[in-house]
Structure formats: structure tokens, C-alpha cells
Amino acid sequence: MSDATQHGAGQPATRSLHHLDARTKRRNASEKRFKALGIGAIGIGLAFLVILLVTIVSNGATAFQQTFVEVPVYLDAAKLDKKGNRDPEDLKKATTFTYKPLIEKALLDAVEKSGATTDLAKAKDMKNLISASAASQVRDAVLADPSLIGTTVDFKILASSRVDSYLKGRVHRDEIAKDKNITVAQLDLVDQLRDAGIIHKGFNWAFIFGADASDSRAEQAGIGISMLGSFYMMLVVLVLALPIGVAASIYLEEFAPKNRFTDLIEVNISNLAAVPSIVFGILGLAVFIQFAHLPQSAPLVGGLVLTLMTLPTIIISTRAALKAVPPSIRDAALGVGASKMQSVFHHVLPLAMPGILTGTIIGLAQALGETAPLLLIGMVGYIATNSPDGFLDGFVSPNSAMPAQIYEWAKRADPAFYERAWGGIIILLIFLLGMNIIAIILRRKFERRW
């Protein structure tokens, strides 16, 4: 401060540069604090990312493991084929209710044989240990091969979701007092059966390739069918958005005159890019379903909505790619007598292609993860259990989509579905990661410096 008074005297204070004054020290401290704030902000951002990823992986990894029960089932001819003629039509009359006691009995026998000590002595007591899907699994096997009747066949059936959750550490003995679906005695038995190798965990292929299941069968639910739904939607988006987006960009970047109409299109595109996705859902509902009567829950409609939603993204990145091609290329083509159209399609477009594809893949990745518009066109709440019959049917037959399926599981009451939801997210993120890696590789490989 002292030098202030000397200001204007033409003889500024001569302080040594090698000595930091108090004010500079204060200023440097404030500099350090400010820098620390910046590092802190980045640290928090990255910490959130890490927490998010750790949460996803730690909660979802178990979805890829499933508990199975290995049990030899005696397929009693007296019950399954009362007429004794092995006629498939008659065999169909035996419903899953007929098969269920057989399996429960078989498990009880296996328990006794393993020498486990338990008070559970009735076949009924085994009900809670095995999935409700077991009966139909055995029935399907019998219908496929009636000669099995009367023999004992080894089956690998799903354990119930309570047993599965118990072995994965999510169900504890002290929390199940009110649970009708499992008892402490049954859990004790599960421990012994696991040691005996009758109950064991295995990789859960059914989760990746299987169909969704109803509310009470969490252990059976898979994401495979909705993955197919997502695949069909992406196909629609790719087939429509890429050509339309490229055509629109070529027009705007290369041919459009500077006039009101062009301005209008430009304003529209930049605004559409920022319209909330749910509004596109309303558009899809009103135009495609109410007005054009396209089928509800169909991947075709989902694909159309997502196409409209991703078009602005694709147009913006395509235009950037076209802009990056230097004018000298166009001039060179025009200079040898090519028409404007030829110069664009023969020279500019091929050079811009890597950039366009990168933008398209990123647009597709965005569309793949989008959920909100799908809620409104009925792709949620639909239980995706059937694969489409044939390729074309896949576009119009009702289906779900991966993010919609995840949402569906998140809403269900049984917490066993949460694991599926996290697992579904892992699969979804793997797809997104793959798409982004392809985009990065494309960009690296074809990156051009003019």
C-alpha cells in the first residue's frame, strides 16, 4: 500500500522482486483456493461417475448368475398319460398343475437322499424352493418327447427368486418373518442343498436371451425379446434417419439458397434438437397411433418416433462433416466440368462419409437409450414374452425395448426385479459403449487434415 502515495511522483517504489509482499502472498493463496475449487468440481463430477458405474456393476452383475436346482424327476405315466396311448393331444390335457407335484416330490426325494437334516417332510414344503416356471419346463420337455414318460430324467430347473436372492445375499433370515414365500427352515435346507451340490449357481443365459416374465417370476425374466424390439427400432431409425438426414444436410449445406424457407428449416432443426423427448412421444401418440392407426407397442412406431427425434442430431453432425470438406475439392470437380450435383455426390459426400457415419452412430446410441417417448406409444407395460414370427412381423408385432423393459422392472413391487433392471442397464451400456467405440475408431481411422 505504501507505494500508492508515491504514485505519479515518477519514482515508483523499488521493492525487491525476491521478496514476496504480504499482498502477493494473500493473492497467491486466493489463487490456490480458486484452483482447488476447480479441481474439487472436477473431482466431484468424476466421483459421481465412479459412484454411478460402481452402483450399476455391483447391483447388476448378479443378474448374470442364476441359481438352479438339479433334480431327477420321475415322470409318472399314471399321472401324465392316464390313457396310456402317448397321444400328444391327450398329453396336452395334463396341465402344469399335474406336473408340479411330481417335481416337488422329486426334490423331496433328492433332499432325503442327500441326507440333509430338516423338518420339512412334505412335498408341498418344496414349493417355495423352485420356480413356478419349472412345471412348464418339464411339461414342454415331455410334449417334445413323449417317450420320456415313465422314466427318470435329470432336470436343471430354476430355483425360486427368494432362494436366488438368499444365495446372492439380498434376503436375510431376520427379514423374512412376514414373507409368505419362504421360511427360515427352507433357507436352512437351501444351505445344505447347496453344500450337497443340488442347488448351485450358473451363468444366466436366459437373462440375456430370454423373455420377460410375469410379476411373480422374477427368476425367469430376461431381456432378450426387448433387445430384439430395440434392434428393430434401430433398424427403422437407421434406414430412415441416415438417408433423410444426409439428403437434408446436402441440400442445406450445398444447394439451399439464402432465403426465408432455408432460414425456417434451419431454425426448425436447431429447435427440434432441444425439444424434450417426451414431446416426440406425444407426437407419436397423436399422429402415428391416433391419426394413422398404426399398431400400438410396435417397434415400427417406436422407430418412427426415434427417427424424428434423432434427425436433428444426424443433420447437425452431417453438416459439420460436409463443411469440413474444403471448397477446393468442389472447385476442382466443377473445374473439370462436373455438375454441382456430380461434385457433391462423387467427391464431397465420399470424403464426408466417415464424419457422417460417426454422427449417425452417436445419434443411434442416443435413440437406443431413450425411454420417455416409448412410454407414450405403449412400449411399456407390455410384457414381451413372444419372439416375432419372422422378420417383417418383428416391426409390427407388439414388443418392448431395452430401456422400456428396464423401466418396467424398476416399477415392479418385487425387489428381485431390481437386480434385473441393473443387469439390463449393464447390457444397455455395453451396447452404447460398443457403438461409441466404433464411432471413435471410425473417426480416428478416417480423420483427415486438409
Partner 1 sequence: MPVLWIVVIVVVLAVVGFVMGRMRALHSAGEDRRSLHSLPNYYGFNVAMFTAVPALLLLLVWMVAQPLIVNTRVSAEIPEALLDGSNMSLVMSDVRRVADGLDTAIAQGALSARQAANIDLQTTDLREVLGSVGVALGSSVDPATLNAAQTYRGMTSTGDLAMTVLVLLAAIAGFAFAYLRTNKDFRARNTVEKGVRVLLIAAASIAILTTIGIVLSLVFNTIEFFRLYPITDFFFGTTWSPSFGGGSELGILPLLWGTLYISLVALLVAVPIGLFAAVYLSEYATKSVRGVVKPLLEVLAGIPTIVYGLFALLTVGPFLLSIFGANGPTAAMADGGWMHAGTAVMTAGLVMGIMLIPFVSSLSDDIINAVPQSLRDGSYGLGATKSETIKQVILPAALPGIVGAVLLATSRAIGETMIVVLGAGAAARLSMNPFDAMTTVTAKIVSQLTGDADFASPEALVAFALGMTLFVLTLGLNIFALYIVRKYREQYE
Partner 2 sequence: MEDMSLTERAVTTDDIKITARNVQVHYGDTHAIKDVDVDILDKTVTAFIGPSGCGKSTFLRCLNRMNDTIDICRVEGDIKLDGEDIYDKRVDPVQLRAKVGMVFQKPNPFPKSIYDNVAYGPKIHGLTKNKAELDQVVEDSLRKAALWNEVKDRLHAPGTGLSGGQQQRLCIARAVATSPEVLLMDEPCSALDPIATAQVEELIDELRANFSVVIVTHSMQQAARVSQKTAFFHLGNLVEYDDTDKIFTNPSDSRTESYITGRIG
**Interacting positions 309-338 with partner 1 (CB under 8 A):** 311-312, 315
Say whether residue 27 binds partner 2 (CB under 8 A): yes
Residues from 323 through 362 that contact partner 2 (CB under 8 A)? none
- Residues 381-420 vs partner 1: string with x where CB under 8 A? x----------x----------x--xx--x-------x--
Amino acid at 318: T
Neighbours of 310 (CB within 10 A): 28
Q: Residue for cell digits 427368494?
A: 162
In the complex, minimum distance from the CB of residue 20 to partner 2, in angstroms, rounded to a whole number = 6
Distance separating alpha carbons of residues 394 and 265, to the nearest angstrom: 34
Stretch that binds partner 2, among 15-23, 248-256, 401-409, 418-426 (CB under 8 A): 15-23
Stretch that binds partner 2, among 4-12, 107-115, 216-224, 362-370 (CB under 8 A): 4-12
- What are the cell numbers at 99? 406336473
In the complex, minimum distance from the CB of residue 347 to partner 2, in angstroms, rounded to a whole number = 36
Number of residues that bind partner 1 (CB under 8 A): 85
* φ and ψ at residue 43, rounded to 5 degrees: -60, -45
44 binds, among partner 1, partner 2, none (CB under 5 to 8 A by kind): partner 1
Say whether residue 33 binds partner 2 (CB under 8 A): no
- Residues 174-213 vs partner 1: string with x where CB under 8 A? ----------------------------------------
Residues from 429 through 448 that contact partner 1 (CB under 8 A)? 429, 432, 436
Q: Residue for cell digits 413323449?
A: 146
Distance separating alpha carbons of residues 27 and 146, to the nearest angstrom: 88
Say whether residue 12 binds partner 2 (CB under 8 A): yes
Say whether residue 32 binds partner 2 (CB under 8 A): no
DSSP 332-391: HHHHTT--HHHIIIIIIHHHHHHHHHHHHHHHHHHHHH--HHHHHTT-SS----S--SST
| End-to-end Cα, the chain, rounded Å | 55
Residues from 415 through 434 that contact partner 2 (CB under 8 A)? none
Among 20, 46, 143, 184, binds partner 1 (CB under 8 A): 46
DSSP 386-420: S--SSTTHHHHS----HHHHHHHHHHSSSTHHHHH
- Residues 234-263 vs partner 1: string with x where CB under 8 A? ---------xxx-xx-xxx--xx-------
- What are the cell numbers at 121? 417332510
Q: Residue for cell digits 432362494?
A: 163
In the complex, minimum distance from the CB of residue 272 to partner 1, in angstroms, rounded to a whole number = 6
Contacts of residue 118, Cβ cutoff 8 Å, sequence gap at least 6:
111, 185, 188, 189, 192
Contacts of residue 323, Cβ cutoff 8 Å, sequence gap at least 6:
253
Distance separating alpha carbons of residues 184 and 174, to the nearest angstrom: 9
125 binds, among partner 1, partner 2, none (CB under 5 to 8 A by kind): none
Q: Please answer whether residues 389 and 449 qualify as being in contact, where contact means their C-beta atoms are separated by less than 8 angstroms.
A: no
With CA atoms as reference, report the closest residue to 86 among 146, 145, 153, 142. Answer: 146
Tell me the three state secondary structure of residue 297. coil
Say whether residue 29 binds partner 2 (CB under 8 A): no
Among 13, 21, 25, 42, binds partner 1 (CB under 8 A): 42
Say whether residue 370 binds partner 1 (CB under 8 A): yes
In the complex, minimum distance from the CB of residue 5 to partner 2, in angstroms, rounded to a whole number = 8
Residue closer to partner 2 (CB basis): 12 or 243: 12
Say whether residue 444 binds partner 2 (CB under 8 A): no
Residue closer to partner 2 (CB basis): 10 or 38: 10
Stretch that binds partner 2, among 12-20, 103-111, 164-172, 423-431 (CB under 8 A): 12-20
Per CB under 8 A, residues contacting partner 2 are: 1, 3-4, 6-8, 10, 12, 14, 16-21, 23-24, 27-28
